Amino acid sequence: MADGTEEIFEITVRPGKPYTVEARWRGQSETAIAPRPRDMEGDLRELQTALHIGLPMRGAPAQPAKAASEPRIIEGIGTRLFDLLFRRDVFTLYSEARDWAAEADGRISLHVRLTEEMRELGVLPWETLYHAERREYLAISDRVGLTRTAEDFVKAVRKTPKLRILCAIADATDDGGGTEGGGRLDPLMFDRELMWMEQAISELRQAGQVHFEVVKASLGEVEDRLRSRRHSGWDVFHFIGHGGFDDRRGQGYLVFVQDGSRAGERVYAEDLGPLLSFKGGPRLVLLNSCEGFQSRTGDIFSSTAGHLAFSDIPCVVAMQFVITSHAAQEFSRRFYSDLVAGESVNQAVRFARMGMKRYGPEWITPVLFSRSASGMIFELPKVVAP
């Protein structure tokens, strides 16, 4: 892109029967009435089925998904969601912004604002947004970026000589639920997962652009590494492990391990916020966990990622569907490479999604919650080409 000009196009959906959609761009605002989407739960079940076809379990050899119906399903859901947001005057304003992006060699940063009063829409896969007329997925378009916006924007740029990543791995043998709904966990082959993660950022480490440490994901170890003076200053907290949703408590959780063992310990969303959100704490949290995004129907705020997004952490990335290890590796490689190269978190996620497309539909899996208008949360030294 020649000049890199980027402007925010903000969408907010207000409650009611029907919904009210508000759009803002360049000081202009428009509203439109939108009916409630019908049978989206059926669409989501169909989408999840399509995503699972041809996808091996994490840790198994990866192969591209082979479901012939995937493009049709994803385009269909994406088109319905696009038509929900961009109606009448809102669509007219968006078209004006999209035309500007093409003519000015610029970009639109589309922020879909999630408010607590509209929690039932949070569980929808907005990453599939598809403009059928242009045959364009907004989340991977070179002219439109897609971010879920939580709360108000904050200024959160941090100067750092290198990106410091703390990777917490929880190879728990059970989900920590005890006799109340607990169970044995499927192995994620953590050694292989860590190997792929290290391979993904190996060139960045060798160039001195990334400092990467691994810690056992027990509460004691993680808290010590995050908050002690000798280990402080982490920019990114990257979790690899299991997660889930507790129907009894109505809340998501990550499965840590107990100190001194591999027994699981559930750390609920309401407790993760205070653990990770503090002055000088990580500016970015990445949850590479099974079901880290899952919530009870109609309540994204009860999911682990959703809850963290409404804490003081500027950016949270989570996976909303099952993801293969090779796709997870590709996401990490592209994401961290572009972040270190000076791209915004928004752009780094977009480039990572594009890299994941070779594995089929998994590119719709990463979800970005951001409280940064630009997505520029790190100021790193410029990378000088050899």
For residue range 263-294, what is the model confidence (pLDDT) as tens digits? 999 999 889 989 998 888 999 999 987 555 55
Q: What percent of the chain has pLDDT over 70?
A: 82
Average pLDDT over residues 38-58: 62
| Average pLDDT of the chain, as a whole number | 83
- 48: amino acid identity, one letter: Q
Question: What was the pLDDT predicted at 116?
Answer: 66
With 0-12 / 13-18 / 19 or more C-beta atoms within 10 angstroms meaning exposed / middle / buried, residue 100 is middle
Question: What was the pLDDT predicted at 230?
Answer: 63
CB under 8 A, 24+ apart: contacts of 228-235? 232/280, 233/160, 233/164, 233/280, 234/164, 234/165, 234/166, 234/281, 234/282, 235/158, 235/160, 235/163, 235/164, 235/165, 235/282, 235/283, 235/284, 235/378
Question: What was the pLDDT predicted at 276?
Answer: 93
Q: Does residue 123 carry a pLDDT above 70?
A: yes
- Identify which has the larger pLDDT, 89 or 65: 89
Q: Does residue 19 carry a pLDDT above 90?
A: no
- Identify which has the larger pLDDT, 307 or 2: 307
| Angle CA 45–17–9, to nearest 5 | 75
Average pLDDT over residues 13-38: 89
Question: What was the pLDDT predicted at 374?
Answer: 86
DSSP 363: G
Q: Does residue 94 carry a pLDDT above 80?
A: yes
Q: Does residue 348 carry a pLDDT above 50?
A: yes
Q: Are 110 and 73 in contact (CB under 8 A)?
A: no
Please, which pLDDT band fits residue 58 given cuts at 50, 70 and 90? very low
Please, which pLDDT band fits residue 106 given cuts at 50, 70 and 90? very high
**What DSSP assignment string belongs to 41-74?**
HHHHHHHHHHHHTTPPPTTSPP-----TTHHHHH
Nearest to 186 by CA among 237, 246, 252, 255: 255
Question: What was the pLDDT predicted at 17?
Answer: 81
Q: Does residue 186 carry a pLDDT above 80?
A: no
List phi, psi (to 5°) of 369: -100, 130
- Residue 253 pairs with which residues in a beta bridge? 244, 268
Domain with CATH 3.40.50.1460 in the chain: 158-379
Rounded distance, CA 44 to CA 364, Å? Answer: 13
DSSP 348: H
Question: What was the pLDDT predicted at 67?
Answer: 44
**What DSSP assignment string belongs to 37-50?**
PSSHHHHHHHHHHH
- Identify which has the larger pLDDT, 295 or 4: 4
Please, which pLDDT band fits residue 121 given cuts at 50, 70 and 90? confident
> Within a 13 Å sphere around the CA of 159, how many CA atoms are in the beta-carbon half?
1
Question: What was the pLDDT predicted at 180?
Answer: 55
Q: Does residue 135 carry a pLDDT above 60?
A: yes
Please, which pLDDT band fits residue 1 given cuts at 50, 70 and 90? very low
Q: Does residue 62 carry a pLDDT above 50?
A: no
Question: What was the pLDDT predicted at 300?
Answer: 56
- Identify which has the larger pLDDT, 302 or 43: 43
Say if domain 158-379 classifies as CATH 3.40.1440.10: no
- Identify which has the larger pLDDT, 116 or 237: 237
Q: What are the tens digits of pLDDT across the range 29-42?
A: 999 998 877 666 67
Q: Are 340 and 204 in contact (CB under 8 A)?
A: yes
List phi, psi (to 5°) of 272: -70, -35
| pTM of the predicted protein model | 0.88
